[in-house]
Structure formats: structure tokens, C-alpha cells
């Protein structure tokens, strides 16, 4: 057969003629030289009919030989078979009711289902994430977020339920709720919807919570409460009427004149019922004369003495000079170490410091000038305070409240009886405490106070010191005397300073004894706990079929542990398991454990992060 060209492929003459005939139209369209159809057929030795037939065939098939630019389109690969994964997912959901809760807009997943999904990603690394997500009916973005350790917030669907009926609880319904919760793997609110919508039990959330807690199947974690503060102590001070009881106390005030700082004592008398400042005194130090001066100033201001005066246990407040000045006014001692007893005076000092700026003057005779200025400032402040309306008292000032008070004879008599009963209880308690004291210790303290020149006219401080252990008392007296010999005692020191030393030494001794007992008991408990944990680890090792299931069980135990020692033990077990594997597997196994840690969303985020950091340090210690 003739060839199309000398070096070309061999084709029949009819196809060669058909190809040339097909090109004649292209040649004529570009004004190129072209042969006639008869000359082509004759030159190639082809049959005319076959040549035209080949031309038409080539014209029909030529477009199929032309493709667009770029790589040829690949045929789509056959989709992998994920029916087994779908069936396994359905089986898991059926065995764990509540682990998936789909609402109108979003879906809520339990921690157990998240762990199951992560297990499937680890068991099928050959599958792409979108394929695996579709097989388990999970949005690909959600599954990807789980792999990163994130947490998608979800909403609870809103449907009309039967909780509005609020039928009385019956034993069969309670039993049904408890039995359903024992097999529930979702969150609590989804379980409440399940009870109301699917079990058709019209219990509200609060009732379901109480039922589960009473049956002991769900113990909620209580939030840490707030520590007691001033709000909890308000209203605990017993008052009767204006003018019945005053509260006296002193505070140091400083003023700077010509670069020299001077300190004086401001003594206040404050009415316990109205909070009005009735009297004040400004002296060089807090002593009995300051109490007397402030008390007499209060009597001159109000026109009458109170029936009772509350003072702290400072020795200078309980001298004969103070008792004589009080006359018929009953002196009440404040509870030791409770500043709340004198909240009225302490509050006044706080307001004074908030409103009065730092005082600095430069004049002749600085000490006298400083005292006079402080008297003027304190007097101005007290008068302003007393006439300022109070929102908590109907916008009445302290002066109005004080002057408008008109107690009846019955109220006065009742207040006197209550005051007498209070004083009797205090005296009885003091006598009871004194009777329990060691007489030898009391005699020892009497000699020590006389030798040190410490004033304690009513034995308040000696009795308080005598309640501490003898070793602390002896050590405290030695410290006090030693500091006195070397001149390191503060100025104007009194028995309160000695009491503080004894108390601090006793607290230190007590703390050391507690620390020793605490250490011994913790060692004992740790040994017991580690023995139990080691038995549990050996049991898991015996039943482990492969590395991955064993790794998951160890990680779950670490995150489900409530105590620090338990979590540390299980994290160490995870690290040992990873380190026992070949070196190239360490990173993969660590990431699997880390993803499982962050899938436990019931564990606080900071605890999950801490567990991951500790595990990384155990697997790859730096030093």
C-alpha cells in the first residue's frame, strides 16, 4: 500500500485521499495553491467514492481529537466504601442514648461521641477527613475542630414540652428518670428534654436535678462560694435607740510641717444607732485621757451621757480615770480580734481619710500649729459628716436621727435589761475562762507583768495569754524581754504586743505540728493510692489488645481522675507507654493522646492544657 509520506505512518489510499480532500477547504479559505479533487484521487490511486467517504468520516471524528489547554481531565475515582463506619456509628449512638442531640440549628455532642469519632480518624488514616465526616454524619469542620482540640458551642433546641403541667412526682416516674439517666451519655439539659419530650414525664429541670441528686446518680459540682465579707456582717451589731450606746476608738493622724512629720491620736465617740460622731479628742497619744476628753466632748454636744460605751481592750481604756469619768455609763469591752465590733468608729476613720487631703504646713512653732490645724480639720469634718443626709436612713442626717429619737420608758428599761444581761454574760464567760486556767501559769504571768511594768487592770491580757501553751508563753516573754534589753520594742508598747508575740509563736508551733502530721498522713495515703492505681494499671495492661486502645484507656483515666496524684500517675503511665514504642511512633502517639485529652470538655480547659504540658514534659524531658 502507498504511504502518506516517506516517513509517516502507513494508511490506505482512500484515507490518504480523504485527508487531502478535507484540507482543500482550508487551503482555499487562505488563498493557498490547491490541487483539484480529481488530481488528488488519481495521484493517490484511490476510489473516488471511498475517498469521499473517508473525508466525511474524518470530518466527523476530528473534533473529538481536539482538547482544551492544561492537563487532561481525570476520571473521578471510585468513592470508598464507608458503610462499615456508618453502621458502627449507628450502633454507638444506639448503645449510648443522648450522645448526639440534634437541634433546629446546631447539634450537641457528648464527650463519648467525640472520643468515638477521634478513634475512627485514627483507625482509618487512609480516608480523607470529609469522607470520614460524611460517613458519621458530622460536619467536616466540626470533625477537623475536634482533631485540633477545639470545642464548638451548640444550642439546645426549643420545643414545646410537658414541663408546664408539673404533675406530682410518683415512684414509677422517679424510677424511670433514674433508670434513663444511668444509661445516658449526653449533657444534663439534653437529658431533661429527653425526659419531657420522649419519656413524656412532665418534670422540670429543677425537679429532675433534685431527684438525681437524692438518688445519688448525679452529684453536681458546686461552684466555689465567696468568702465572708463585710456585707455578711452588716446588721449583726445590736442597737436599741439613738443615744443609748456609743462606740469609742482612736486612730493615729499625721501632719507634715516644715518637712517634719508629727503624729497625734484622734479619739472619736460614735453613736451606735445613728452613726453620728458625738465627741472627739486630739492628743499626742491614745490613752485614758483621750477617752475621757472625747467622752466629755460628746456629753457637751448631745446634752446627755449614753447608757453604755463600747471600748476595745487597750489597757488605757480600762483605768480608774476612765471609770470615774463614765459615771453611770456602763463600759462594755469589745470582742478581741474583731474590728467589726467597732465598725461605727472604724467607718468614721475611713471616711475621714477619704475626704481629708494630706496635711503639710510651714509655719513657726510647728508642733502647736500642727495640733491646732488638725483640731480645725477634724471638727469641720465631724460637723459636715453629722449634717450630711443618709440615703439608707430616709435622707435624714445623723443629727436629725439623734435629736428625733425619743425612746419610751419601756424601751429604756428593756435596753437596760439587755445591756445588763450582755455584761453579765461577758463577766460569766471571763470567770469561766479564768477558772479553766492553770493557777501556776497565772501567777507566773502576774510576776512577769509586774517585772515588765505592763498595765492590765482587769486581767484581760494575762487571761488571754494564759490560754496558750506554756512553751509559747515562755518563748514570748523571752522575746519581749530580749527586745526590751536591746531597745527594739516599739514606742508606747503595751500588753497587746506581748499577746501578739505569744500568739504568733503558738501559731508557728501549731503550724509545724500540723505540717508533720500532714506529711505523715499524706505519705501513708500516697502509698495506699499508688498501690491501688498500680493494680488498676496492671489490669488494663492484661486486657489490652493493642497499643491504641491501651493508650486511650490510660488517657481517659487521667482525665477522669479528680485528685492530682491520680492524674499524675495515669499521665506517667501514658508517657511510659509512648516511650516504650519505637522512636518514629512517639510524635504520632503523643498527638493522639493530646487530642483525646482535649476532647474531654467536661474537664476545665486550664486542666486540659496542664495535662498536655505535663505529658509532653514526661515524653520529652528537657533537663
Residue-wise pLDDT for 501-515, tens only, equals: 999 999 988 888 888
CB 157 within 8 A of CB 190: no
CB 507 within 8 A of CB 469: no
Q: What 3-state class would DSSP assign to 11?
A: coil
Partners of residue 330 on adjacent β-strands:
308
CB 248 within 8 A of CB 291: yes
- Reference 298, options 326, 279, 325, 281; nearest CA is 279
Partners of residue 45 on adjacent β-strands:
none
- Percent composition of the chain: helix, strand, coil (DSSP 3-state, to 5): 60, 10, 30
CA–CA separation, 4 and 44 (whole Å): 9
Q: Does 285 or 240 have the greater pLDDT score?
A: 285
CB 235 within 8 A of CB 363: no
CA–CA separation, 540 and 491 (whole Å): 69
CB 250 within 8 A of CB 283: no
CA–CA separation, 435 and 459 (whole Å): 13
Give the pLDDT of residue 151: 47
If one counts every other C-beta atom within 10 angstroms of the C-beta of residue 539, the result is 10
The answer on pLDDT for 167 being more than 80 is: no
For residue 299, which phi and psi values (nearest 5 degrees)?
A: -65, -40
Q: DSSP label at 396?
A: B
The answer on pLDDT for 341 being more than 80 is: no
CA–CA separation, 328 and 318 (whole Å): 15
CA–CA separation, 618 and 607 (whole Å): 16
CB 108 within 8 A of CB 186: yes
Mean pLDDT along residues 584-607 = 88
CB 318 within 8 A of CB 457: yes
Torsion of CA 608, 611, 613, 616, to 10 degrees: -130
Q: Considering the chain, what is the average pLDDT of its residues?
A: 78
What is the percent of the chain with per-residue pLDDT over 70, rounded to a whole number? 83
How does residue 355 score in pLDDT terms, banded at 50, 70 and 90? low
Cell triple for 491: 514606742
Give the pLDDT of residue 504: 92
If one counts every other C-beta atom within 10 angstroms of the C-beta of residue 170, the result is 10
Give the pLDDT of residue 363: 59
* Of 226-235, 328-337, 402-411, 492-501, minimum mean pLDDT range: 226-235
* Of 217-221, 393-397, 558-562, minimum mean pLDDT range: 217-221
* Of 132-136, 169-173, 615-619, minimum mean pLDDT range: 169-173
- Reference 18, options 55, 53, 60, 43; nearest CA is 55
Give the pLDDT of residue 351: 56
Q: Does 480 or 50 have the greater pLDDT score?
A: 480
What pairing do the DSSP bridges indicate for beta strands 245-257 and 277-283? unpaired
Mean pLDDT along residues 341-368 = 59
How does residue 265 score in pLDDT terms, banded at 50, 70 and 90? confident
Q: Does 148 or 180 have the greater pLDDT score?
A: 180
How does residue 361 score in pLDDT terms, banded at 50, 70 and 90? low
Residue with cell string 516517513: 7
CA–CA separation, 113 and 93 (whole Å): 8
CB 268 within 8 A of CB 348: yes
The answer on pLDDT for 338 being more than 60 is: no
Mean pLDDT along residues 186-191 = 83
Mean pLDDT along residues 411-436 = 79
CA–CA separation, 455 and 462 (whole Å): 10
CA 151 → CA 31, 137, 597, distances in Å?
A: 73, 17, 12
Amino acid at each position: 500500500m502507498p504511504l502518506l509520506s516517506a516517513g509517516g505512518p502507513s494508511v490506505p489510499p482512500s484515507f490518504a485521499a480523504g485527508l487531502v480532500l478535507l484540507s482543500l477547504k482550508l487551503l482555499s479559505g487562505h488563498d493557498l495553491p490547491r490541487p483539484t479533487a480529481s488530481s488528488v484521487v488519481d495521484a493517490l490511486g484511490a476510489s473516488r467514492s471511498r475517498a469521499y467517504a473517508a473525508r466525511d468520516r474524518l470530518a466527523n471524528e476530528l473534533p473529538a481529537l481536539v482538547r482544551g489547554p492544561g492537563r487532561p481531565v481525570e476520571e473521578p475515582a471510585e468513592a470508598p466504601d464507608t458503610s462499615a463506619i456508618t453502621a458502627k456509628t449507628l450502633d454507638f449512638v444506639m448503645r449510648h442514648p443522648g450522645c448526639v442531640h440534634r437541634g433546629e440549628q446546631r447539634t450537641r455532642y457528648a464527650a463519648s461521641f467525640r472520643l468515638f469519632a477521634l478513634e475512627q480518624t485514627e483507625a482509618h488514616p487512609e480516608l480523607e477527613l470529609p469522607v470520614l465526616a460524611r460517613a458519621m454524619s458530622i460536619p467536616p469542620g466540626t470533625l477537623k475542630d475536634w482533631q485540633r482540640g477545639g470545642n464548638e458551642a451548640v444550642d439546645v433546641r426549643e420545643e414545646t414540652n410537658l414541663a408546664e403541667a408539673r404533675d406530682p412526682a410518683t415512684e414509677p416516674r422517679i424510677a424511670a428518670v433514674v433508670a434513663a439517666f444511668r444509661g445516658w451519655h449526653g449533657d444534663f439539659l439534653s437529658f431533661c428534654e429527653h425526659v419531657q419530650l420522649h419519656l413524656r414525664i412532665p418534670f422540670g429541670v429543677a425537679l429532675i436535678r433534685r431527684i438525681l441528686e437524692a438518688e445519688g446518680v448525679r452529684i453536681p459540682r458546686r461552684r466555689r462560694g465567696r468568702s465572708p465579707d463585710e456585707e455578711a456582717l452588716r446588721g449583726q451589731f445590736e442597737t436599741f435607740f439613738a443615744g443609748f450606746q456609743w462606740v469609742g476608738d482612736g486612730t493615729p493622724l499625721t501632719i507634715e510641717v516644715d518637712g517634719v512629720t508629727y503624729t497625734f491620736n484622734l479619739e472619736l465617740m460614735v453613736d451606735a444607732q445613728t452613726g453620728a460622731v458625738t465627741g472627739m479628742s486630739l492628743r499626742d497619744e491614745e490613752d485614758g485621757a483621750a477617752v475621757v476628753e472625747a467622752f466629755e466632748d460628746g456629753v457637751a454636744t448631745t446634752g446627755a451621757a449614753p447608757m453604755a460605751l463600747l471600748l476595745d481592750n487597750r489597757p488605757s481604756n480600762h483605768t480608774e480615770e476612765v471609770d470615774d469619768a463614765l459615771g453611770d455609763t456602763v463600759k462594755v469591752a469589745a470582742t478581741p480580734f474583731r474590728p467589726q465590733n467597732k465598725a461605727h468608729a472604724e467607718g468614721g476613720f475611713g471616711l475621714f481619710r477619704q475626704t481629708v487631703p494630706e496635711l503639710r504646713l510651714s509655719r513657726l512653732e510647728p508642733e502647736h500649729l500642727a495640733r491646732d490645724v488638725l483640731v480645725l480639720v477634724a471638727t469641720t469634718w465631724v460637723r459636715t459628716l453629722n449634717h450630711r443626709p443618709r440615703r439608707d436612713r430616709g435622707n435624714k442626717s445623723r443629727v436629725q436621727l439623734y435629736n428625733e429619737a425619743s425612746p419610751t420608758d419601756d424601751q429604756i428599761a428593756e435596753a437596760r435589761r439587755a445591756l445588763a444581761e450582755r455584761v453579765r454574760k461577758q463577766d460569766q464567760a471571763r470567770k469561766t475562762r479564768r477558772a479553766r486556767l492553770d493557777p501556776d501559769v497565772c501567777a507566773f504571768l502576774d510576776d512577769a507583768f509586774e517585772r515588765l511594768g505592763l498595765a492590765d487592770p482587769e486581767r484581760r491580757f494575762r487571761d488571754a495569754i494564759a490560754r496558750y501553751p506554756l512553751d509559747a508563753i515562755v518563748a514570748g516573754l523571752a522575746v519581749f524581754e530580749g527586745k526590751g534589753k536591746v531597745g527594739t520594742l516599739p514606742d508606747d508598747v503595751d500588753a497587746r504586743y506581748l499577746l501578739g508575740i505569744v500568739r504568733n509563736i503558738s501559731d508557728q508551733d501549731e503550724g509545724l505540728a500540723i505540717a508533720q502530721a500532714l506529711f505523715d498522713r499524706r505519705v501513708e495515703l500516697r502509698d495506699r493510692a499508688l498501690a491501688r492505681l498500680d493494680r488498676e494499671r496492671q489490669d488494663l495492661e492484661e486486657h489490652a489488645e493493642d497499643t491504641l486502645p491501651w493508650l486511650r484507656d490510660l488517657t481517659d483515666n487521667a482525665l477522669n481522675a479528680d485528685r492530682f496524684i491520680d492524674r499524675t500517675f495515669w499521665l506517667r503511665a501514658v508517657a511510659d507507654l509512648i516511650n516504650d514504642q519505637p522512636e518514629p511512633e512517639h510524635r504520632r502517639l503523643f498527638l493522639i493522646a493530646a487530642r483525646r485529652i482535649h476532647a474531654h470538655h467536661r474537664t476545665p480547659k486550664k486542666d486540659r492544657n496542664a495535662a498536655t504540658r505535663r505529658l509532653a514534659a514526661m515524653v520529652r524531658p528537657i533537663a
